[in-house]
Amino acid sequence: MDTFVIQGGRRLAGRTRVNGSKNAALPLLAAALLTDEPVTLRDVPDLADIKNMHRLLAELGCHRVNEQAGPSGVQTFQVADSSNCHARYEVVRTMRASVCVLGPLLAKRGSARVSMPGGCAIGDRPVDIHLRGLTALGAQFTLTSGDIIATTPRGGLKGATIFLGGPNGSTVLGTANVMSAACLAKGTTVIESAACEPEIVDLARLLMSMGAKISGAGSPRVTIEGVDRLHEADHRVIADRIEAGTFLMAAAITNGDITIENCPMDALLSLNDRLAAIGVDVQTLPGKAGAEVDPMRATVRVTCGRVLKPVEVTTQPHPGFPTDLQAQLMALLCLADGNSVITERIFPERFLHVAELSRMGAKLFRQGPTVIVSGVRNLVGAPVMASDLRASACLVMAGLAAEGTTIINRVYHLDRGYERMEDRLRMLGASIERVDDKDLPGASGGGE
Protein backbone atom coordinates (compact mmCIF):
# COMPACT_ATOMS: atom_id res chain seq x y z
CA MET A 1 0.00 0.00 0.00
CA ASP A 2 1.29 3.48 -0.85
CA THR A 3 2.67 5.62 1.94
CA PHE A 4 4.05 9.16 2.09
CA VAL A 5 7.35 9.83 3.81
CA ILE A 6 7.72 13.52 4.63
CA GLN A 7 10.76 15.28 6.08
CA GLY A 8 9.19 18.31 7.69
CA GLY A 9 10.42 21.82 8.23
CA ARG A 10 10.85 23.10 4.66
CA ARG A 11 9.16 26.31 3.56
CA LEU A 12 7.00 26.00 0.48
CA ALA A 13 7.93 28.47 -2.25
CA GLY A 14 7.15 28.73 -5.95
CA ARG A 15 4.13 28.43 -8.21
CA THR A 16 1.37 25.89 -8.63
CA ARG A 17 -1.99 25.61 -10.39
CA VAL A 18 -5.33 24.43 -9.05
CA ASN A 19 -6.99 21.60 -11.00
CA GLY A 20 -10.62 21.25 -12.00
CA SER A 21 -12.97 20.43 -9.14
CA LYS A 22 -13.63 16.79 -8.26
CA ASN A 23 -16.92 17.55 -6.54
CA ALA A 24 -18.11 19.60 -9.50
CA ALA A 25 -16.95 17.04 -12.07
CA LEU A 26 -18.76 14.04 -10.54
CA PRO A 27 -22.36 15.33 -10.99
CA LEU A 28 -21.34 16.92 -14.31
CA LEU A 29 -20.27 13.48 -15.56
CA ALA A 30 -23.56 12.00 -14.32
CA ALA A 31 -25.43 14.69 -16.31
CA ALA A 32 -24.12 13.07 -19.51
CA LEU A 33 -26.84 10.44 -18.87
CA LEU A 34 -29.50 13.09 -19.54
CA THR A 35 -28.93 13.21 -23.31
CA ASP A 36 -28.10 10.86 -26.19
CA GLU A 37 -25.75 13.48 -27.62
CA PRO A 38 -22.07 13.92 -26.65
CA VAL A 39 -21.16 15.96 -23.57
CA THR A 40 -17.61 17.32 -23.37
CA LEU A 41 -16.04 18.40 -20.09
CA ARG A 42 -12.74 20.27 -19.87
CA ASP A 43 -10.30 20.45 -16.97
CA VAL A 44 -11.52 17.17 -15.47
CA PRO A 45 -8.99 16.14 -12.78
CA ASP A 46 -7.22 12.79 -13.04
CA LEU A 47 -8.38 11.18 -9.79
CA ALA A 48 -9.46 7.80 -8.46
CA ASP A 49 -13.04 9.03 -7.87
CA ILE A 50 -13.31 10.29 -11.45
CA LYS A 51 -12.13 6.91 -12.75
CA ASN A 52 -14.77 5.23 -10.59
CA MET A 53 -17.41 7.48 -12.15
CA HIS A 54 -16.12 6.54 -15.65
CA ARG A 55 -16.53 2.88 -14.72
CA LEU A 56 -20.06 3.47 -13.47
CA LEU A 57 -21.06 5.46 -16.57
CA ALA A 58 -19.64 2.72 -18.80
CA GLU A 59 -21.76 0.12 -16.98
CA LEU A 60 -24.76 2.37 -17.62
CA GLY A 61 -23.97 2.45 -21.36
CA CYS A 62 -22.41 5.93 -21.37
CA HIS A 63 -18.89 5.72 -22.81
CA ARG A 64 -15.88 7.92 -23.16
CA VAL A 65 -15.72 8.69 -26.88
CA ASN A 66 -12.43 10.63 -26.94
CA GLU A 67 -9.83 8.24 -25.64
CA GLN A 68 -6.93 10.62 -25.27
CA ALA A 69 -7.11 12.18 -21.84
CA GLY A 70 -4.27 14.63 -22.53
CA PRO A 71 -2.95 17.06 -19.95
CA SER A 72 -6.01 19.31 -20.17
CA GLY A 73 -8.39 16.57 -19.03
CA VAL A 74 -10.83 16.92 -21.92
CA GLN A 75 -13.39 14.13 -21.73
CA THR A 76 -16.35 13.48 -24.02
CA PHE A 77 -19.08 11.05 -22.99
CA GLN A 78 -22.03 9.74 -24.96
CA VAL A 79 -24.78 7.26 -24.21
CA ALA A 80 -24.70 4.28 -26.60
CA ASP A 81 -27.04 1.92 -24.79
CA SER A 82 -29.72 2.88 -22.25
CA SER A 83 -30.73 -0.63 -21.20
CA ASN A 84 -28.79 -0.99 -17.94
CA CYS A 85 -29.97 1.27 -15.10
CA HIS A 86 -28.21 -0.51 -12.22
CA ALA A 87 -25.47 1.23 -10.21
CA ARG A 88 -24.10 -1.81 -8.39
CA TYR A 89 -22.97 -2.00 -4.78
CA GLU A 90 -19.41 -2.88 -5.89
CA VAL A 91 -19.14 0.54 -7.55
CA VAL A 92 -21.22 2.63 -5.13
CA ARG A 93 -19.35 1.40 -2.06
CA THR A 94 -16.05 2.67 -3.50
CA MET A 95 -17.57 6.07 -4.19
CA ARG A 96 -20.59 7.44 -2.41
CA ALA A 97 -21.06 10.17 -5.04
CA SER A 98 -22.30 7.42 -7.40
CA VAL A 99 -25.72 8.32 -5.99
CA CYS A 100 -25.77 11.33 -8.31
CA VAL A 101 -26.71 9.08 -11.26
CA LEU A 102 -30.13 8.50 -9.61
CA GLY A 103 -31.80 11.74 -10.75
CA PRO A 104 -30.50 11.59 -14.36
CA LEU A 105 -31.44 7.89 -14.75
CA LEU A 106 -34.96 8.44 -13.42
CA ALA A 107 -35.56 11.48 -15.61
CA LYS A 108 -34.16 10.06 -18.85
CA ARG A 109 -34.80 6.32 -18.59
CA GLY A 110 -37.79 6.21 -16.27
CA SER A 111 -36.19 3.79 -13.85
CA ALA A 112 -33.06 3.31 -11.79
CA ARG A 113 -31.57 0.79 -9.42
CA VAL A 114 -28.86 2.35 -7.27
CA SER A 115 -27.18 0.60 -4.38
CA MET A 116 -27.91 2.46 -1.15
CA PRO A 117 -24.66 4.20 -0.18
CA GLY A 118 -23.50 3.16 3.28
CA GLY A 119 -21.86 5.40 5.84
CA CYS A 120 -18.21 6.34 5.58
CA ALA A 121 -15.38 7.57 7.77
CA ILE A 122 -16.96 11.00 8.11
CA GLY A 123 -20.40 9.85 9.31
CA ASP A 124 -23.72 8.19 8.46
CA ARG A 125 -24.45 10.09 5.25
CA PRO A 126 -28.15 9.28 4.61
CA VAL A 127 -29.90 9.94 1.28
CA ASP A 128 -33.41 10.49 2.65
CA ILE A 129 -33.59 14.08 1.36
CA HIS A 130 -32.59 12.99 -2.18
CA LEU A 131 -35.48 10.51 -2.12
CA ARG A 132 -37.88 13.06 -0.62
CA GLY A 133 -37.12 15.50 -3.43
CA LEU A 134 -37.45 12.94 -6.20
CA THR A 135 -40.65 11.57 -4.64
CA ALA A 136 -42.14 15.07 -4.86
CA LEU A 137 -41.46 14.91 -8.61
CA GLY A 138 -43.52 11.70 -8.72
CA ALA A 139 -40.83 9.03 -8.45
CA GLN A 140 -41.59 5.88 -6.45
CA PHE A 141 -39.03 4.03 -4.37
CA THR A 142 -38.64 0.61 -2.82
CA LEU A 143 -35.61 -0.95 -1.15
CA THR A 144 -34.55 -4.44 -2.26
CA SER A 145 -31.34 -6.22 -1.21
CA GLY A 146 -29.76 -2.91 -0.24
CA ASP A 147 -30.63 -1.32 -3.59
CA ILE A 148 -32.93 1.66 -4.09
CA ILE A 149 -35.36 0.70 -6.86
CA ALA A 150 -36.83 3.81 -8.42
CA THR A 151 -39.49 4.25 -11.07
CA THR A 152 -41.25 7.19 -12.62
CA PRO A 153 -45.00 7.13 -13.14
CA ARG A 154 -46.54 6.77 -16.58
CA GLY A 155 -46.20 10.18 -18.22
CA GLY A 156 -42.87 10.89 -16.50
CA LEU A 157 -41.80 13.18 -13.68
CA LYS A 158 -43.87 16.28 -12.90
CA GLY A 159 -42.57 19.61 -11.60
CA ALA A 160 -43.30 20.45 -7.96
CA THR A 161 -42.31 22.80 -5.17
CA ILE A 162 -39.83 20.99 -2.95
CA PHE A 163 -38.19 21.86 0.36
CA LEU A 164 -34.72 20.27 0.45
CA GLY A 165 -33.49 21.44 3.86
CA GLY A 166 -32.28 18.94 6.46
CA PRO A 167 -30.99 18.96 10.03
CA ASN A 168 -27.50 20.01 8.89
CA GLY A 169 -28.51 22.39 6.13
CA SER A 170 -29.26 21.51 2.54
CA THR A 171 -27.74 18.66 0.59
CA VAL A 172 -25.29 19.24 -2.25
CA LEU A 173 -25.69 15.97 -4.17
CA GLY A 174 -29.41 15.88 -3.27
CA THR A 175 -29.83 19.29 -4.93
CA ALA A 176 -27.82 18.01 -7.91
CA ASN A 177 -30.09 14.96 -8.22
CA VAL A 178 -33.36 16.88 -7.99
CA MET A 179 -32.19 19.74 -10.23
CA SER A 180 -30.96 17.30 -12.91
CA ALA A 181 -34.18 15.28 -12.81
CA ALA A 182 -36.41 18.39 -12.88
CA CYS A 183 -34.82 19.51 -16.18
CA LEU A 184 -36.77 16.77 -17.99
CA ALA A 185 -39.91 16.88 -15.78
CA LYS A 186 -43.16 18.33 -17.07
CA GLY A 187 -43.81 21.84 -15.77
CA THR A 188 -42.07 23.97 -13.17
CA THR A 189 -40.01 22.80 -10.21
CA VAL A 190 -39.04 25.12 -7.38
CA ILE A 191 -36.33 23.84 -5.03
CA GLU A 192 -36.48 25.71 -1.74
CA SER A 193 -33.48 25.45 0.61
CA ALA A 194 -31.33 24.32 -2.32
CA ALA A 195 -27.60 23.92 -1.71
CA CYS A 196 -25.78 27.12 -2.76
CA GLU A 197 -22.37 25.52 -3.32
CA PRO A 198 -20.35 26.62 -6.39
CA GLU A 199 -20.52 23.01 -7.65
CA ILE A 200 -24.32 23.40 -7.96
CA VAL A 201 -23.87 26.61 -9.93
CA ASP A 202 -21.46 24.78 -12.22
CA LEU A 203 -23.92 21.92 -12.75
CA ALA A 204 -26.67 24.42 -13.56
CA ARG A 205 -24.36 26.07 -16.11
CA LEU A 206 -23.73 22.74 -17.84
CA LEU A 207 -27.43 21.82 -17.80
CA MET A 208 -28.35 25.23 -19.22
CA SER A 209 -25.82 24.81 -22.01
CA MET A 210 -27.55 21.47 -22.71
CA GLY A 211 -30.84 23.38 -23.12
CA ALA A 212 -32.24 23.27 -19.57
CA LYS A 213 -34.12 26.29 -18.20
CA ILE A 214 -32.82 27.02 -14.72
CA SER A 215 -32.75 30.22 -12.70
CA GLY A 216 -31.52 31.00 -9.22
CA ALA A 217 -28.71 28.41 -8.97
CA GLY A 218 -26.33 29.53 -6.23
CA SER A 219 -29.23 30.90 -4.15
CA PRO A 220 -31.49 28.87 -1.82
CA ARG A 221 -34.36 29.00 -4.34
CA VAL A 222 -33.77 27.36 -7.72
CA THR A 223 -36.48 27.30 -10.38
CA ILE A 224 -36.45 24.81 -13.24
CA GLU A 225 -38.82 24.82 -16.22
CA GLY A 226 -38.86 21.31 -17.64
CA VAL A 227 -37.96 20.78 -21.30
CA ASP A 228 -38.59 17.78 -23.60
CA ARG A 229 -34.96 16.99 -24.32
CA LEU A 230 -31.41 18.07 -23.62
CA HIS A 231 -28.64 18.20 -26.19
CA GLU A 232 -24.86 18.19 -26.56
CA ALA A 233 -22.66 20.62 -24.66
CA ASP A 234 -19.05 21.61 -24.09
CA HIS A 235 -18.22 22.83 -20.60
CA ARG A 236 -15.16 23.73 -18.53
CA VAL A 237 -15.22 22.47 -14.94
CA ILE A 238 -14.70 25.11 -12.22
CA ALA A 239 -11.44 25.15 -10.29
CA ASP A 240 -11.34 23.05 -7.13
CA ARG A 241 -11.94 25.36 -4.16
CA ILE A 242 -10.95 22.66 -1.65
CA GLU A 243 -7.66 21.90 -3.38
CA ALA A 244 -7.01 25.66 -3.58
CA GLY A 245 -7.78 26.07 0.13
CA THR A 246 -5.48 23.16 0.97
CA PHE A 247 -2.58 24.78 -0.93
CA LEU A 248 -3.26 28.15 0.71
CA MET A 249 -3.05 26.58 4.16
CA ALA A 250 -0.06 24.38 3.24
CA ALA A 251 1.81 27.58 2.35
CA ALA A 252 0.75 29.15 5.65
CA ILE A 253 1.71 26.19 7.85
CA THR A 254 5.24 26.15 6.40
CA ASN A 255 5.56 29.93 6.66
CA GLY A 256 5.91 29.78 2.89
CA ASP A 257 5.44 32.09 -0.05
CA ILE A 258 3.64 30.57 -3.01
CA THR A 259 1.71 31.77 -6.03
CA ILE A 260 -1.40 29.81 -6.96
CA GLU A 261 -2.97 30.01 -10.42
CA ASN A 262 -6.59 29.16 -11.29
CA CYS A 263 -7.61 29.91 -7.70
CA PRO A 264 -11.41 30.29 -7.16
CA MET A 265 -11.15 33.08 -4.55
CA ASP A 266 -14.78 34.04 -5.06
CA ALA A 267 -15.74 30.61 -3.68
CA LEU A 268 -13.31 30.92 -0.75
CA LEU A 269 -14.41 34.12 0.96
CA SER A 270 -15.06 32.44 4.32
CA LEU A 271 -11.61 30.79 4.29
CA ASN A 272 -9.98 34.06 3.26
CA ASP A 273 -11.72 35.81 6.16
CA ARG A 274 -10.37 33.26 8.67
CA LEU A 275 -6.89 33.29 7.09
CA ALA A 276 -6.76 37.08 7.42
CA ALA A 277 -7.69 36.75 11.12
CA ILE A 278 -4.94 34.13 11.57
CA GLY A 279 -2.37 36.42 9.95
CA VAL A 280 -2.11 34.81 6.51
CA ASP A 281 -1.96 37.27 3.64
CA VAL A 282 -3.59 36.30 0.34
CA GLN A 283 -3.11 38.86 -2.45
CA THR A 284 -4.92 38.56 -5.77
CA LEU A 285 -2.41 39.49 -8.48
CA PRO A 286 -3.44 41.78 -11.36
CA GLY A 287 -4.28 40.13 -14.70
CA LYS A 288 -1.70 40.08 -17.50
CA ALA A 289 -1.49 43.45 -19.34
CA GLY A 290 -4.25 44.85 -17.14
CA ALA A 291 -6.75 42.13 -18.13
CA GLU A 292 -9.72 41.79 -15.80
CA VAL A 293 -9.26 39.09 -13.13
CA ASP A 294 -11.84 36.29 -13.11
CA PRO A 295 -12.45 35.86 -9.35
CA MET A 296 -13.08 32.12 -9.91
CA ARG A 297 -9.73 31.72 -11.71
CA ALA A 298 -7.48 34.25 -10.02
CA THR A 299 -3.74 34.12 -9.49
CA VAL A 300 -2.96 34.73 -5.83
CA ARG A 301 0.17 35.03 -3.74
CA VAL A 302 0.03 33.70 -0.20
CA THR A 303 2.49 34.71 2.51
CA CYS A 304 2.33 34.49 6.24
CA GLY A 305 3.59 36.24 9.36
CA ARG A 306 5.74 34.27 11.81
CA VAL A 307 3.04 34.22 14.49
CA LEU A 308 -0.32 32.60 13.71
CA LYS A 309 -3.25 33.96 15.69
CA PRO A 310 -5.93 31.61 17.08
CA VAL A 311 -9.49 31.86 15.70
CA GLU A 312 -12.99 30.43 16.12
CA VAL A 313 -14.48 28.62 13.15
CA THR A 314 -17.79 26.84 12.55
CA THR A 315 -18.37 24.82 9.40
CA GLN A 316 -21.55 25.67 7.54
CA PRO A 317 -23.14 25.21 4.14
CA HIS A 318 -21.75 27.55 1.48
CA PRO A 319 -20.94 30.46 1.71
CA GLY A 320 -19.99 29.48 5.28
CA PHE A 321 -16.71 27.76 6.12
CA PRO A 322 -16.57 24.42 4.21
CA THR A 323 -16.47 21.17 6.12
CA ASP A 324 -14.03 19.91 3.48
CA LEU A 325 -11.41 22.37 4.81
CA GLN A 326 -12.02 21.79 8.52
CA ALA A 327 -9.28 19.17 8.99
CA GLN A 328 -6.67 21.23 7.11
CA LEU A 329 -7.54 24.32 9.17
CA MET A 330 -7.12 22.28 12.35
CA ALA A 331 -3.58 21.35 11.30
CA LEU A 332 -2.79 25.03 10.78
CA LEU A 333 -4.30 26.11 14.10
CA CYS A 334 -2.24 23.49 15.96
CA LEU A 335 0.65 25.94 15.51
CA ALA A 336 -1.26 29.13 16.44
CA ASP A 337 -0.30 31.20 19.44
CA GLY A 338 -3.25 30.41 21.74
CA ASN A 339 -6.54 28.50 21.84
CA SER A 340 -8.76 28.10 18.78
CA VAL A 341 -12.26 26.61 18.66
CA ILE A 342 -13.46 24.53 15.71
CA THR A 343 -17.10 23.42 15.52
CA GLU A 344 -18.27 20.98 12.83
CA ARG A 345 -21.92 21.52 11.87
CA ILE A 346 -22.13 19.50 8.63
CA PHE A 347 -20.64 16.15 9.64
CA PRO A 348 -20.41 16.30 13.46
CA GLU A 349 -18.30 13.09 13.59
CA ARG A 350 -15.73 14.25 11.05
CA PHE A 351 -12.82 14.22 13.48
CA LEU A 352 -10.75 11.08 12.79
CA HIS A 353 -7.74 13.34 12.25
CA VAL A 354 -7.85 14.50 15.89
CA ALA A 355 -6.22 11.34 17.24
CA GLU A 356 -3.60 11.32 14.48
CA LEU A 357 -2.66 14.99 14.99
CA SER A 358 -2.36 14.24 18.71
CA ARG A 359 0.26 11.59 17.86
CA MET A 360 2.27 14.45 16.34
CA GLY A 361 2.16 16.53 19.52
CA ALA A 362 -1.00 18.57 18.86
CA LYS A 363 -3.00 19.59 21.94
CA LEU A 364 -6.63 18.92 21.08
CA PHE A 365 -9.66 18.55 23.29
CA ARG A 366 -12.86 17.32 21.65
CA GLN A 367 -16.33 17.63 23.09
CA GLY A 368 -19.06 16.51 20.70
CA PRO A 369 -18.89 18.56 17.50
CA THR A 370 -16.33 21.01 18.95
CA VAL A 371 -12.56 20.78 19.25
CA ILE A 372 -10.44 23.18 21.28
CA VAL A 373 -7.06 23.49 19.63
CA SER A 374 -4.35 24.71 22.01
CA GLY A 375 -1.49 25.91 19.88
CA VAL A 376 1.91 24.28 20.39
CA ARG A 377 5.33 25.56 19.34
CA ASN A 378 6.15 22.52 17.17
CA LEU A 379 4.57 19.40 15.76
CA VAL A 380 6.75 16.31 15.78
CA GLY A 381 6.91 13.77 12.93
CA ALA A 382 5.30 10.36 13.58
CA PRO A 383 3.77 7.42 11.74
CA VAL A 384 0.09 8.27 11.24
CA MET A 385 -2.91 6.79 9.46
CA ALA A 386 -4.96 8.58 6.80
CA SER A 387 -8.66 7.87 7.42
CA ASP A 388 -10.48 9.89 4.78
CA LEU A 389 -9.67 12.28 1.97
CA ARG A 390 -9.51 15.60 3.82
CA ALA A 391 -8.03 14.11 7.01
CA SER A 392 -5.20 12.84 4.80
CA ALA A 393 -4.60 16.35 3.47
CA CYS A 394 -4.50 17.61 7.06
CA LEU A 395 -1.84 15.03 7.97
CA VAL A 396 0.26 15.94 4.93
CA MET A 397 0.14 19.59 6.02
CA ALA A 398 1.08 18.66 9.59
CA GLY A 399 3.94 16.53 8.24
CA LEU A 400 5.25 19.41 6.13
CA ALA A 401 5.49 21.60 9.22
CA ALA A 402 6.61 18.98 11.76
CA GLU A 403 10.13 18.42 13.02
CA GLY A 404 11.52 15.14 11.68
CA THR A 405 9.90 12.38 9.65
CA THR A 406 6.18 11.77 9.20
CA ILE A 407 4.98 8.56 7.59
CA ILE A 408 1.39 8.66 6.36
CA ASN A 409 -0.21 5.31 5.68
CA ARG A 410 -3.11 4.63 3.32
CA VAL A 411 -2.62 7.61 1.04
CA TYR A 412 -5.10 6.08 -1.40
CA HIS A 413 -7.62 8.22 0.49
CA LEU A 414 -5.69 11.31 -0.62
CA ASP A 415 -5.49 10.09 -4.22
CA ARG A 416 -9.29 10.16 -4.40
CA GLY A 417 -9.24 13.95 -4.36
CA TYR A 418 -5.75 15.37 -5.02
CA GLU A 419 -3.94 14.74 -8.28
CA ARG A 420 -0.22 13.91 -7.82
CA MET A 421 -0.16 15.82 -4.54
CA GLU A 422 3.37 14.71 -3.67
CA ASP A 423 4.84 15.82 -7.03
CA ARG A 424 3.22 19.22 -6.75
CA LEU A 425 4.41 19.75 -3.18
CA ARG A 426 7.91 18.60 -4.15
CA MET A 427 7.93 21.24 -6.93
CA LEU A 428 7.24 23.77 -4.16
CA GLY A 429 10.25 22.59 -2.17
CA ALA A 430 8.74 19.96 0.12
CA SER A 431 10.58 16.76 0.93
CA ILE A 432 7.88 14.17 0.28
CA GLU A 433 8.16 10.70 -1.27
CA ARG A 434 5.60 8.06 -2.17
CA VAL A 435 6.83 4.61 -1.19
CA ASP A 436 5.27 1.19 -0.93
CA ASP A 437 4.89 0.39 2.77
CA LYS A 438 6.59 -2.96 2.14
CA ASP A 439 9.76 -1.01 1.31
CA LEU A 440 9.78 0.91 4.57
CA PRO A 441 12.59 -0.16 6.90
CA GLY A 442 11.64 -2.58 9.61
CA ALA A 443 7.85 -2.80 9.57
CA SER A 444 4.61 -3.47 7.73
CA GLY A 445 3.72 0.14 7.19
CA GLY A 446 4.43 1.38 10.71
CA GLY A 447 7.89 2.83 10.07
CA GLU A 448 9.80 5.30 12.12
129 part of the interface to ligand EPU, by CB under 6 A: yes
Q: Is 33 helix (H, G, I), strand (E, B) or coil?
A: helix
20 part of the interface to ligand EPU, by CB under 6 A: no
CA distance 431 to 399: 10
CA distance 128 to 385: 31
Q: How many CB atoms lie within 10 A of CB 142?
A: 9
174 part of the interface to ligand EPU, by CB under 6 A: yes
Q: Is 200 helix (H, G, I), strand (E, B) or coil?
A: helix
393 part of the interface to ligand EPU, by CB under 6 A: no
Binding ligand EPU (rule: CB under 6 A), the pick from 390, 410, 413, 424 is 390
Q: Which of 414, 315, 319 is nearest to 370 (CA)?
A: 315
CB-wise, 5 or 30, nearer to ligand EPU? 30
**For residues 20, 21, 22 and 28, what is the CA-based torsion angle, rounded to 10 degrees?**
-90
Distance of closest approach, residue 27 Cβ to ligand EPU, in angstroms: 7
Q: Is 17 helix (H, G, I), strand (E, B) or coil?
A: strand
Binding ligand EPU (rule: CB under 6 A), the pick from 127, 183, 282, 398 is 127
Q: Helices in 154-197 by DSSP H: which ranges?
A: 172-182
Each residue 195-224 as x (binds ligand EPU by CB under 6 A) or -, in order, gives: x---x-------------------------
Which residues fall within 8 angstroms of residue 374, CB to CB, at 6 or more apart? 338, 339, 363, 364, 365
The single-letter code of the amino acid at 142 is T
Q: Point out which span in 123-131, 151-159, 351-359, 419-427 binds ligand EPU (CB under 6 A).
A: 123-131
Q: Using CB under 6 A, which residues numbered 63 to 122 contact ligand EPU?
A: 97
Q: Strand 405-409: give its sheet, edge to edge.
A: 383-385, 405-409, 2-7, 431-436
Binding ligand EPU (rule: CB under 6 A), the pick from 138, 256, 417, 447 is 417
Q: Which of 36, 396, 60, 37 is nearest to 243 (CA)?
A: 396
Distance of closest approach, residue 127 Cβ to ligand EPU, in angstroms: 4
168 part of the interface to ligand EPU, by CB under 6 A: yes
Active site residue 120: yes
CB-wise, 164 or 371, nearer to ligand EPU? 164
349 part of the interface to ligand EPU, by CB under 6 A: no
Binding ligand EPU (rule: CB under 6 A), the pick from 42, 125, 297, 301 is 125
Binding ligand EPU (rule: CB under 6 A), the pick from 172, 248, 308, 334 is 172
Among residues 62, 85, 100, 120, the one annotated as catalytic is: 120
389 part of the interface to ligand EPU, by CB under 6 A: yes
Distance of closest approach, residue 217 Cβ to ligand EPU, in angstroms: 15
CA distance 115 to 442: 41
Looking only at the bridges linking them, the beta strands covering 147-151 and 111-115 are: antiparallel
Q: Point out which span in 3-11, 37-45, 161-169, 375-383 binds ligand EPU (CB under 6 A).
A: 161-169
SS (H, E, C) 100-133: HHHHHHHHHHCEEEEECCCCECCECCCCHHHHHH
346 part of the interface to ligand EPU, by CB under 6 A: yes
Binding ligand EPU (rule: CB under 6 A), the pick from 38, 110, 166, 279 is 166
In angstroms, the first-to-last Cα distance of the chain is: 16
Binding ligand EPU (rule: CB under 6 A), the pick from 173, 222, 239, 430 is 173
Catalytic residues, by residue number, are 120
Binding site for ligand EPU (CB under 6 A): 23, 26, 97, 123, 125-130, 166-169, 171-174, 195, 199, 323-324, 346-347, 389-390, 417
